[in-house]
């Protein structure tokens, strides 16, 4: 595809080409992708010169005008605002172009921002939990107050109960429980803020749901091997995916725990790995030999250079950076598709690890330690899939032959 530095460039952005090309290389862009990015930069630079503007005039509004002109000129690629994100990010870090003006937030969004800060500083919740609670808070505030937060003072217990009944309709039990838990938290916060005059948490009804009512869903025998076999271990992404799948299937990690792994968490000499689990707990676990080998193979010949990140798993495509938790489940689903299996998420492999340990004769207490459960009652659900142990408890069917 050629050297991106050889793209013909004129106009006010010409001086930034070498630095931008180096930035694209650092972020893991291939030569072809980097050349395409510099090509957009060249078009933008010529357009700015034609408009009589320099780099300092490249405001978000001017960038939108350029994209409109690019579409009108018949270009087929790089037509959305996302096409300019790498370039504008680089130029803004240099201070060459003005930062985007902050959008004025609504009163509800400002309140949600304060609520998020409260959850982080006062309640110590994880970022993912804060995200769930904030989403439910926006839903409730939009229903209760709309644009006028002064209406919150008129909230009643009947109104709160009606909101929950209406919004829980059609939700799963788990989703409904998140809603009511988040709503109780929000109502306590609104009372602290003085936006409601009474404690309305008691008006939030409980969601009917019984612990252990369902069965943990594990992958059938042989499916984990099929997922691992679907990974191309000669390719960097395949080595990464193999290591991720082994961590999920052998150690029963959650997707967020895989994404949170850092290079310093692996003790090669001791054969141990530090897991950052729920509640910001850090726990040390043995590192099985096959998992360690897969990690070493990825770190030596599959992990892109990144931007100084200490995260173990990085994105395979540019821009390089830590692999988000949501991408861990994407890796599992793609492996299922390659192996010709029904789609499954990362948590299915956690259940599979527990069931395999149970079938191998491990006691429930040991399984709970591996899965890092706080309560034995959480692990007890796996007793329901131990058919051999349950068969001894089954009573004979009335009228059956002795």
Hey, what long-range contacts does 43-49 have (CB within 8 A, 24 or more apart)? Answer: 43/70, 43/75, 44/13, 44/84, 44/87, 45/9, 45/10, 45/11, 45/12, 45/13, 45/14, 46/10, 46/11, 47/11, 48/11, 48/12, 48/13, 49/10, 49/11, 49/12
- Write down the catalytic residue from 223, 303, 350, 372: 350
**Residues 178, 180: Cα–Cα separation, whole Å:** 6
Quick check: is 387 catalytic? no
The answer to whether residue 43 is catalytic is no
Q: Which of 93, 78, 96 is nearest to 39 (CA)?
A: 78
Q: For residues 375 and 384, give the distance between their C-alpha atoms in angstroms, rounded to a whole number.
A: 17
Choose the catalytic residue: 254, 348, 351, 372. 254
What tokens were used for 261? 């792994």
Cβ(152)–Cβ(145) below 8 Å? yes
Annotated catalytic residue 278: yes
Active-site residue (options: 278, 310, 337, 384): 278
Tokens of 24: 């694209």
CA dihedral 107, 108, 110, 111 (to 10 degrees): 120
Token representation of residue 359: 């079938």
Residue 62's Cβ-count burial label (10 Å; 0-12, 13-18, 19+) is middle
Per annotation, catalytic residue among 43, 70, 315, 373: 373
Known active-site residue 350? yes
Catalytic residue among 92, 177, 233, 347: 347
User: Is 373 considered catalytic here?
Assistant: yes
What distance in Å separates the CA atoms of residue 265 and residue 254, rounded to the nearest whole number? Answer: 16
Per-residue DSSP letters for 173-234? HHHHHHHHHHHHHHHHHHHHTTSSSS--GGGSPPPP--TT-S----PPTTHHHHHHHTS-TT
DSSP 8-state class, residue 396:
P
> Could you tell me the two tokens for 299?
């770190």
CA distance 274 to 399: 56
- Residue 285 DSSP SS3: strand
- Cβ atoms 350, 216 nearer than 8 A: no
Dihedral angle computed from the Cα positions of residues 378, 380, 381 and 385, in that order, rounded to the nearest 10 degrees: 150
Instruction: Return the closest-CA partner of residue 165 out of 173, 154, 176.
Output: 176
Q: Is 348 a catalytic residue?
A: no
The residues annotated as belonging to the active site are 254, 278, 347, 350, 373, 382
């Amino acid at each position: 595809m050629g050297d991106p530095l050889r793209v013909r460039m004129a106009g006010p952005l010409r001086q930034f080409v070498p630095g931008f090309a180096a930035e694209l290389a650092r972020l893991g862009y291939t030569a072809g992708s980097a050349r395409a990015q510099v090509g957009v930069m060249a078009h933008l630079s010529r357009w700015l010169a034609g408009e009589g503007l320099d780099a300092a005039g490249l405001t978000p509004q001017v960038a939108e005008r350029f994209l409109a002109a690019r579409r009108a000129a018949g270009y087929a690629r790089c037509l959305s605002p996302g096409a300019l994100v790498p370039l504008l990010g680089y130029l803004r870090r240099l201070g060459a172009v003005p930062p985007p003006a902050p959008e004025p937030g609504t009163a509800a969004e400002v309140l949600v921002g304060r609520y998020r800060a409260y959850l982080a500083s006062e309640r110590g919740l994880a970022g993912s939990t804060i995200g769930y609670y904030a989403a439910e808070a926006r839903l409730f505030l939009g229903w209760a107050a709309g644009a006028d937060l002064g209406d919150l003072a008129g909230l009643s217990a009947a109104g709160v109960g009606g909101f929950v009944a209406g919004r829980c309709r059609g939700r799963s039990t788990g989703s409904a429980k998140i809603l009511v838990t988040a709503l109780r938290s929000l109502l306590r916060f609104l009372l602290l803020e003085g936006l409601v005059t009474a404690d309305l948490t008691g008006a939030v009804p409980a969601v009917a749901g019984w612990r252990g009512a369902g069965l943990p869903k594990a992958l059938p025998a042989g499916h984990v091997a099929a997922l691992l076999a679907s990974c191309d271990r000669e390719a960097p992404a395949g080595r990464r995916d193999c290591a991720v799948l082994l961590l999920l299937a052998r150690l029963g990690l959650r997707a967020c725990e895989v994404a949170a792994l850092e290079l310093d968490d692996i003790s090669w000499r001791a054969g141990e790995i530090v897991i950052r689990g729920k509640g910001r707990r850090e726990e040390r676990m043995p590192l099985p030999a096959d998992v360690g080998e897969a990690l070493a193979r990825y770190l030596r010949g599959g992990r892109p250079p990144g931007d100084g990140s200490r995260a173990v798993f990085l994105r395979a495509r540019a821009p390089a950076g830590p692999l988000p938790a949501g991408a861990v489940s994407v890796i599992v689903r793609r492996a299922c598709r390659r192996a010709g299996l029904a789609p499954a998420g990362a948590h299915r492999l956690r259940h599979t690890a527990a069931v395999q340990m149970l079938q191998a004769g491990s006691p429930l207490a040991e399984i709970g330690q591996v899965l890092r459960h706080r309560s034995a009652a959480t692990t007890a659900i796996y007793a329901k899939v131990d058919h051999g142990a349950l068969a001894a408890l089954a009573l004979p069917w009335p009228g059956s032959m002795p």
